[in-house]
Amino acid sequence: MRAKTRFQCNECGAETPKWVGQCPECMAWNTLHEVMVESKAVTNISRFREHLTGPANVCSLDVVDITEIPRQETGISELDRVMGGGIVNGSVTLIGGDPGIGKSTLLLQTLSSLDKQSGLSSLYVTGEESAQQVGLRGKRLGLSLDSLRILTENHLERIINVASKEQAKVIVIDSIQTVYSEQLQSAPGAVAQVRECAAQLVRYAKQTNTALFLVGHVTKEGALAGPRVLEHMVDTVLYFEGDSTSRYRIVRAVKNRYGAVNELGIFAMTDKGLRQVSNPSAIFLSRHDEPVSGSVIMVTREGSRPMLVEVQALVDESHLSNPRRVALGLEQNRLAMLLAVLHRHVGISMSSQDVFINVVGGVRIGETAADLPLLLAIVSSYQNKPIANDLVLFGEVGLSGEIRPVQNGVERLNEAVKHGFKKALIPKANKPKESIPGIEVQTVAHVSQVLEKVGV
């Protein structure tokens, strides 16, 4: 029996019995999406119904067991780092990224590694490829194929039935946009299908204490395709960053109920699949033989890990009425603000200059510690005066020109020492209480002091 459906407006919540192009209440166009009135999905998980039909119990929070949640290491340390230490039973993880960037490869390697590590039964469900295609990839990656169980299916009810029979403890759905439920009339990938299929899969994972991985497509803007509620349903959201044509892949946690957000995992794509990068700072540094104008080294912190990255700036005379402002790996609005601070408090105007900013390696920096390095890189390129190769920087720049401190300053300095840097220019409030062997620390409190300290 097919469940009843209705159409609901995403803007105002109005409902209609059938689809129309314009909402009759708020008059918005193309906002009606199919939703289910009731779901009678045919599955064989009735033995778990008591979890839903039992009495609701209210208790005081201080009597709740708050012992640390046990985790299962995947054997891939970079992935474990991003996920907060490993896989949690009953957790749901959503992985998004551009086509061909390595989502399926990483998950296939993870299932193989889990089998070797702990012998957990797993199931790889693919709705995009045939079993032969997945087998050829596994053979190319050098994985043990006898331990990888695969199901080529995109019918939701059949997937849940098979998963229940197999009693798999780790399940991969590749991808959620290809799965459909027979209770809805819309095509696979539609908003209603993605929402309903994800909800039933999450419910199954929680009821059976199964770790679930969902592969999600992304839009041309880089966001996960489908309803935004999809990211709210899951416990962890991971994004692949970086150019698919580049060798390196960056996996970032943008949501994690079991660990830190903005944690990074660094991988290198090889002919044998994704390989972990043990020293991420090395791939983000060019290490020029001679000092180059417009290039500075900063110490950023992503999650729990400090990393050294190279920030490059190119300032050139503009022939346009509106000079260009291009920022790759950094927020463009932040660049506009720093240029205004540079003009107001240092007296250097970029009103007739094109300014291009790039972070080497494709990493994306969201923290404010990049302000001071970015400002100095711009001035270095504008005046064509190189910055010393052994100097590192970090610090936030305020609108009044003050240099504000950032978190974990000592850890950043220790990371710079590990890579052989001899000098550091940091905010005055970040000055360590004790000297750090191997590095000379200079502090600044205002942007007007910066150029004098570095000699540009």
Q: Do 72-276 and 283-454 share a fold?
A: no
Q: Is the dihedral of CA 315, 316, 320, 326 positive or negative?
A: negative
Q: Which CATH architecture is the domain 72-276 placed in?
A: 3-Layer(aba) Sandwich (3.40)
- The DSSP string of 362-401 is G----SGGGHHHHHHHHHHHHHT-PPPTTEEE--EE-TTS
Note the pTM of the prediction, 2 decimals: 0.77
Position 56 scores a pLDDT of 67
* Terminal Cα distance for the chain, rounded: 76
The residues, any chain, with a CB within 8 Å of residue 270's CB and separated by 6 or more, are none
Gap between the Cα atoms of 323 and 317, Å rounded: 9
Angle at 424 between CA 418 and CA 430, to 5 degrees: 100
Gap between the Cα atoms of 230 and 195, Å rounded: 6
- The DSSP string of 132-158 is HHHHHHHHHTT--GGG--EEE--BHHH
The pLDDT averaged over each successive group of 10 residues in the chain (456 residues) is 71 81 86 67 46 68 81 92 92 92 93 86 93 93 89 95 93 94 84 89 95 90 75 93 78 91 89 88 76 92 87 94 92 94 94 94 87 95 92 95 94 92 94 92 93 80
Gap between the Cα atoms of 76 and 454, Å rounded: 42
Q: Order of strands across the sheet with 391-393?
A: 325-328, 353-359, 305-317, 295-302, 391-393, 423-427, 440-444
The CB density around residue 217, as the number of other CB atoms within 10 Å, is 19
Of the candidate CATH numbers 3.40.640.10, 3.90.180.10, 3.30.230.10, 3.40.50.300, the domain formed by 283-454 belongs to 3.30.230.10
Here the tokens at position 314 are: 């190119």
Gap between the Cα atoms of 207 and 212, Å rounded: 12
Gap between the Cα atoms of 336 and 341, Å rounded: 9
Here the tokens at position 128 are: 């995009």
Compute the residue count for the chain: 456
Here the tokens at position 137 are: 């990839």
Name the amino acid, one letter, at 445: A
Domain parsing of the chain, residue ranges: 1-38, 72-276, 283-454
